[in-house]
Amino acid sequence: MEEDITKNLIRKSGMTTSEDFTDKLLLKIESEKTVHPLLGYRYTRMRHYAIFGIIGVGAGLFTLIYFGFLPEFNVFDFQFKINRIPLLIITTWLLLLGANHILKMQHSANLHGKS
């Protein structure tokens, strides 16, 4: 079959979408826009719980250590004692690290939501 004939025939074969194709598409996009903020709201609430959880557990540990709970354990008759000050420093550092990470996540989620 010659080229110009093929071209002519294939031009005849152009297809058309259904009439409501574009409307359906725009409707889908609009519905996605309304779903995203809802998801964002859900995750924001989850992050709040996570922050309060970390702060709660951290504060509990801090109090226990401060008021004399010092871990001691024996391994083959060697007694291990952990001092209060380094433990407090490590707990505080971990607490701040966790809170910082969650706040950063929240900040980037807010920026994403705005865009």
Partner 1 sequence: MTSNKEIDAAIIERIKKGDTHAFRQLVDKYKDVSLSLACAVLKDKAKAEDVLQDVFIKVFHKANSFKHQSAFSSWLYRIVINTSYNELKRDKNHLKLEGIHSYEPLTNERTPIQNLKEEDQKKYVVLALEKLKPDEALVLRLFYLCDMPLKEVQKVTGFTSSKIKVDLHRGRKNMEAVLKNLLGNQINDLW
# chain residues binding partner 1, by CB under 8 A: 26
Single out the residue of 32, 80, 81, 86 in contact with partner 1 (rule: CB under 8 A): 32
Window contacting partner 1 (CB under 8 A); options: 6-14, 37-45, 59-67, 86-94: 6-14
Which string of DSSP letters, residue by residue, matches the chain? Answer: --HHHHHHHHHHT-----TTHHHHHHHHHHHHHHHHHHHHHHHHHHHHHHHHHHHHHHHHHHHHHHTT---EEEETTEEEE--HHHHHHHHHHHHHHHHHHHHHHHHHHHHHHH-
In the complex, least distance from residue 103 CB atom to partner 1, rounded to whole angstroms: 27
Nearest residue (CB) to partner 1, 15 versus 38: 15
Contact call for residue 112 and partner 1 (CB under 8 A):
no
Q: Which one among 15, 38, 85, 111 touches partner 1, defined by CB under 8 A?
A: 15
Based on CB atoms, which residue is closest to partner 1, 26 or 70? 26
